Amino acid sequence: MTQDLTVYEAIERRRDVRAEFSGELLDDDVLVRILSAAHRAPSVGNSQPWDFVVIQSPETLDAFAAHVACKRDDFAESLPPERAATFSPIKIEGIRESRTGIVVTHDQSRGGQHVLGRHTITDAGLFSTVLAIQNLWLAATAEGIGVGWVSFYDEPFLANLAGLPEGVRPIAWLCIGPVTRLQEVPDLERFGWRSRRPLDEAIHRERF
């Protein structure tokens, strides 16, 4: 259900969701509304280099969740004991519970060779795809829908799982679905992993 949130309220309420998915399947009309918000993102040279692969097959969700579990183990093993203990209770995905995954992809060849504004900054295409993700995340928040970004994967594995053509890169797996609630404080802060920086530290005037 769309809520009448201001942009500031949606930004404030947005959360990375892991444990709060209700298990209901996202309504398809809502999904399309959210994807249309993503698709209206700004992009370098109007190249619109993104695509959205919507995945709801339980077998594919299981296969991705199993892969992510291995990557989580790899990360846990790389940590010193004290950080490993802090990391241990932190949930890093809600792949099965959300029941819908969106693989957001990036095609650097979209728009041809002469993308206006990308001749100086190659990554400007990638920035555009990430802006589509932010639009998606905020629109979902305004719909009362949760989103969780999963990045614990090997790109070739996900490219193969989602059937991506050669040269199309997976940028994110987004778990998306109805939620029981949105946390007020980010999980990584609640679990003592890392807190938000004060705004003062991020603002610089005239020079860094």
Ligand X SMILES: Cc1cc2nc3c(=O)[nH]c(=O)nc-3n(C[C@H](O)[C@H](O)[C@H](O)COP(=O)(O)O)c2cc1C
Chain position whose Cβ is nearest to ligand X = 186
- Quickly count: other Cβ atoms within 10 Å of residue 55's Cβ: 17
Sign of CA dihedral 127, 74, 194, 149: positive
d(CA 135, CA 55): 19
Per CB under 6 A, contacts with ligand X among 103-122 are none
- 157/196 Cα distance (integer angstroms): 32
Return the number of the residue (31 or 137) whose C-beta is nearest ligand X.
137
Using rule CB under 6 A, residue 97 touches ligand X: no
Bridge partner list, 150 = 173
CA distance 203 to 194: 20
Q: How far is the CB of 169 from ligand X (least distance, A)?
A: 14
One character per residue 5-34, x = contact with ligand X (rule: CB under 6 A): ----------xx-x----------------
User: Closest separation between CB of residue 112 and ligand X, Å?
Assistant: 27
HSE-up of residue 29 (Cα within 13 Å, Cβ side)? 2
Binding status of residue 92 toward ligand X by CB under 6 A:
yes
H or E element that contains 75 = helix 58-78
173-192 positions binding ligand X, by CB under 6 A: 186, 188
- Binding to ligand X by residue 144, rule CB under 6 A? no
Count of residues in contact with ligand X, rule CB under 6 A: 12
Site for ligand X, rule CB under 6 A: 15-16, 18, 92-93, 148-152, 186, 188
